[in-house]
Amino acid sequence: MNRRKFLVGATATAAAVSAATGSHAQAFLRPPQISVVDYGADPNGKQDSTKAIQNAIAALKAKRTRVLHFPHGTYRLNSVQRIAMEFPNMSDFEIDGDGSTLLMGQDARCMYFAKTSNVIVRDLAIDWDPLPFTQGTVTASGPSGFSLRVDTGFPVPAHATLLAIGSFDRSMKVLAKTPFLDLYPKASTAQATGPSDLRVELTQSNPIPVGTVLVLRFKGVHDVVGIDDSHGIAVRSVKVHSSYSAGFTISRSSDLTFDGLIIGMPIGGSRLLSTNADGMDFNSCFGTVVFKKCAFQGMGDDAINLSTEMWRLRRDAGGASVSMVKRSGGSVATSELSSPGARLEILDPSDLHSIGRAKAASTGSTVATAQMEEGVNSSTLDGAVVLDANLTPAAKILDCQFTGNRARAVVAHKDIEVRNCTFQNTTLAAILLAPDSFYMEGPTTRNVAIESNHFSGCHYGSKDPEGSITIDVQHSYSRRTGVPNGEAQDIRIIANSFDSCPTAAISCRSVDRLAIQNNRVGQTWTEGDSASAPRAMILTQLTNSIVTGNSATAPGVIAIGNSESTKVSDNSGFIIL
């Protein structure tokens, strides 16, 4: 063998050894995994895989393996009665969907994490078959009900109890503007009268025009994913296409990340709805919650709702102690607080402004009580609202798309940033920052930045004088009463753009240290205000605030009332009233 041939052969041999070594090293470094197929799951979507997947989860826990793997395919979970996949008291593992789809068949929860930490869920789609709603066109109508021709491929149940009925625009895939129907008829039912026909009986008279496109949401109770008392959950490139209730319900959990999450209809299909309720509902969480490059469309309620549960104070017999009572009437347990001596904020029940602070305590039992700080008038506490001030996360919503849903895109209160997002076609305010004394959700709004977002067509389902961005001291317009100035604090609305606003672009009431700067506002009140210069911004009861550098590309008014120490200057194209 000559030297040249020897060198070529040696190089080839070395390369082969290196490749083999590299493959072996990669296999060695890859974390051990449990494949659901190895436990009998069918990736072709023909057989029920519920039991096989549950057996794989049991093995994941028993063997302390780090990855639960779904080889690419479609998996049916038809026999689930309550929860398909449970992960209680587990940590440091990953659910790798590998682009798979999980098809739920019942009104049940797909995943549940309880006291779980440091988990990644990725590359997975979750859907229902049959769907938890149906859609079609009204073919006959009367005062007590109507007939519906169901679209091809959608459920025609023999009998179903309805949660809600809504009229939809097929091209926009949102609730229709005309006729605008958003009904929650109590105990109304749908019954099949043919292979593609339903008869809906209403419990209240509400004639619906023939030809109207409707979505009927079936009554259900389970969300897609539940997370309770957990920490460090990361959801990456997950899709939720439908749900009997919300997409995610999350309580008392911290440090959550959602990257590339999609809650919405499958691309290219004819569906008009995704989840029957909220896309994501957070209750009394803490730490951080981050959304990055997520997309939300077609939810039956708010896309993202971040809130803290509020309670009522009740002076016990003899007046020796003050207990805390839930909206349901039950007592608040010490386990529901962030800590045994948690800092509590007390709010006036009439308008939810802050009236004092307290510290949590207990009487030696599991029932929590409140000890008032000095200066709080204890004689006026009965019925006051109280919340645990530590159960509020710092949230960031970054580079996300909200392309139309019933109700609002974001409902939040405190310590939140919304940047570089797009908001379109919400029936109510795109962003609502306000506590709610009816549903007992808070806290009072503090420390919010809304910057460099685009809003179009938001708040088209109501003529209430609110904006695409609405900040107030009460959640619902009909329940708002007089409040002191400056209850919300430290709000920045900067460098946003607004086009085709059905009502105002921005409405703010009772804010201290509000900055509205460098926003661009197009046409407002496109849905019926005949004024030549409609109210683009409705601002009342401000203190120590600035409204500067904003520009209008269509006639508009900045209406300011009952405000103190507020600078309004250099706003081009606006009339200032």
pLDDT grade, residue 12 (50/70/90)?
very low
Please state, in angstroms and rounded to a whole number, the distance separating the CA atoms of residues 12 and 124.
Answer: 41
Q: Would you say the C-alpha torsion 296, 299, 302, 304 has a positive or negative sign? A: negative
Give every CB contact of residue 403 below 8 A, 6+ residues apart in sequence.
Answer: 264, 295, 296, 297, 422, 424, 425
CB-CB contact of 499 with 536 (8 Å): no
Tokens encoding 395: 């949230």
List 331's β-bridge partners, or say none: 325
pLDDT value, residue 174: 95
What's the predicted TM-score (pTM) here?
0.92
pLDDT value, residue 341: 86
List 229's β-bridge partners, or say none: none
At 323-365, the pLDDT tens digits run 889 988 888 988 888 888 888 988 888 777 778 888 888 765 6
Q: Which residue has the tokens 């911004």?
A: 537
At 565-574, the pLDDT tens digits run 999 999 999 9
Portion of the chain with pLDDT greater than 90, in percent:
70
Tell me the pLDDT of the chain averaged across its residues: 90
Average pLDDT over residues 97-124: 97
